[in-house]
Amino acid sequence: MDKLTFIKVGGKIVEEERILRQLLQDFVAIHGHKVLVHGGGRSATQLADRLGVKNKMVDGRRITDEEMLKIVTMVYGGLVNKQIVAGLQALGVNALGLTGADMNLIRSDKRPVGNVDYGFVGDVKEVNAEPLVSLIQQNIVPVLAPLTHDKQGRLLNTNADTIAGKVAGALTGYFKVTLIYCFEKKGVLLDENDNQSVISRLNHATFKQYVAQGIIRGGMIPKLENAFEAAESGVEKVIITQASEIRRGTGTQILPQE
């Protein structure tokens, strides 16, 4: 099987021009087939503020009402996605920007209302891998925005880490997949104030222990839960690292259960 490198980027990486330009140069330098998934939540928050739409967050997760759905669609599926596509085209890469609704790639269900009503947020139920495989085999680089659809005409705001893990897993039947989650730190840290305290390899038992001890907390917990799910789904290698390290593949390697 051919190799495929799946990169997920978010935060200020996609929102600061200099950092994004360097990330795309490093991404292009990776050999073989590639897919990129991006976030863009800070840009959505900034636009919402400018338009007078109230941002509602619960435990770091965005509440997506009707107005916020319009904003994240504009930002994720439009501005951020097309800036990345244009940047890749400038580097000689034939990229195609997509949401989960395009080519029926990713179907989600609207998250049920529990203790919190997250609004129009989607939980991924089905990935249609064949259209992506066809594009990749034509040396087209898919750039996926964090939007899915319910096949009833409704777009849904969907966590980019989840999309990366689910789609990477769906492609393991066609490629040897490496999934890299990249963000501002060098990896998962033993001490969040010490960027050199990278945990080089992390299994699920140790992860649960670190969560109980408060070493791993906040937004890193759902990121790692997605990473472990991807590792269990057959992704050959799952890594969490700094954007500048994607060519070397250093950082924290997530290990499947034995």
> Residues 44-92: pLDDT tens digits?
889 999 999 988 888 767 899 999 999 999 999 999 999 999 999 999 9
Q: How far apart are the first and last CA of the chain?
A: 23
pTM: 0.93
Confirm if 155 and 69 have CB atoms less than 8 A apart: yes
- From edge to edge, which strands make up the β-sheet containing 95-98? 95-98, 141-144, 33-38, 3-9, 176-183, 237-242, 252-254, 201-202
Amino acid 258: pLDDT = 62
Residue among 87, 76, 73 nearest 38 (CA): 76
| Predicted pLDDT at 14 | 82
User: Which residue positions in the chain have pLDDT lower than 50?
Assistant: none
CATH of domain 3-185: 3.40.1160.10
